[in-house]
């Protein structure tokens, strides 16, 4: 699971517990200017992930880490698809973040509010 927050002009994504180990990252900091938007999308977990490098993927259990597919680099940290939030990025190393959070709708609303300022 990840904790997503807005701190100043940055979007902070902090991995919790063992997800730090599985994702091989403890935190991501993204300038809000590079966040295009966020959506709740439990169905994304069923899509092909691409090549894992580095990361962890056990189907129907966990997808975490960096995955490369069709020229995109996507960061994943999801166990429960129902809590998946997709954050679209521009001008960043990753094109998208797919993370599990406690309250997906609240996180999307927070991101949308922060990026509309």
pLDDT of residue 45: 85
Domain-wise residue ranges, the chain: 2-116
User: With pLDDT > 70 as the criterion, what percentage of the chain qualifies?
Assistant: 100
CB-based contact 3:81 (threshold 8 Å): no
Question: Rounded distance, CA 45 to CA 81, Å?
Answer: 6
Confidence bin at 67 (pLDDT 50/70/90): very high
Assess contact for 49 and 65: CB atoms under 8 A.
no
From 9-18, 52-61, 73-82, 90-99, the region with the lowest mean pLDDT: 52-61
Contacts of 10 (CB under 8 A, 6+ apart): 29, 30, 31, 32
Whether pTM > 0.85 for this model: the answer is yes
What CATH number was assigned to the domain covering residues 2-116?
A: 2.30.29
């Amino acid at each position: 699971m990840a904790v997503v927050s807005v701190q100043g002009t940055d979007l902070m994504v902090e991995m919790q517990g063992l997800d730090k180990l599985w994702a091989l990252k403890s935190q991501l900091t993204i300038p809000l200017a590079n966040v295009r938007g966020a959506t709740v999308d439990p169905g994304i977990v069923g899509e092909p992930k691409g090549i894992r490098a580095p990361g962890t993927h056990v189907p129907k259990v966990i997808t975490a880490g960096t995955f490369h597919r069709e020229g995109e680099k996507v960061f994943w940290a999801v166990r429960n698809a129902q809590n998946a939030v997709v954050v679209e990025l521009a001008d960043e190393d990753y094109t998208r973040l797919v993370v599990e959070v406690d309250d997906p709708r609240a996180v999307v609303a927070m991101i949308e509010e922060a990026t509309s300022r």
